[in-house]
Structure 1
Amino acid sequence: MSAYNVSIRQKEMSIRKVLGASVSQLFIQLNKPFLRILMLANLIALPLAYLLVDRWLSSFAYRITVHWWMFAVAGFFALLIALFTVSYQSARAARANPVDSLKEA
Structure 2
Amino acid sequence: EIMNIAMGVAIFISCMGLFGLSAFVAEQRRKEIGIRKVMGATVADIVTMLSKDFVRLVVMAILIASPIAWYFMHRWLQDFAYRIPISWSIYAIAGACAIGVALLTVSYQAFQAATTNPVESLRAE
Tell me if both proteins adopt one fold, taking TM over 0.5 as the criterion: yes
**1:68: which partner in 2?**
88
Verify: 1:4 aligned to 2:24, yes or no.
yes
The one-letter code of the counterpart of 2:123 is K
Match for residue 87 of structure 1 among 92, 98, 107: 107
Amino acid corresponding to residue 117 of structure 2 in structure 1: N
Give the aligned CA root-mean-square deviation in angstroms.
1.6
Which whole-Å CA distance do the structure 1 matches of 2:52 and 2:106 have between them?
A: 10
Deviation, structure 1 residue 33: 1.4
In the alignment, structure 1 residue 27 sits paired with structure 2 residue 47 = yes
Structure 1 residue ranges (4+ consecutive) displaced by more than 6 angstroms after TM superposition: none
> Which residue of 2 is the match for residue 16 of structure 1?
36
- Matched pairs, number: 105
Q: Normalising by the residue count of structure 2, what TM-score does the alignment of the two structures yield?
A: 0.74
Is there any run of 5+ residues in structure 2 with no aligned partner, and where?
Answer: 1-20
Unaligned 5+ runs, structure 1? none
What is the Cα deviation at residue 67 of structure 1? 2.5
1:45 maps to 65
Q: Which amino acid aligns with 1:104?
A: A
Residue 20 of structure 1 aligns to a residue in which SS? coil
Letter in 2 for 1:48: I
Q: CA–CA distance in 2 between the matches of 1:50 and 1:43?
A: 11
In structure 2, C-alpha distance between the alignment counterparts of 1:69 and 1:49, rounded to whole Å: 13
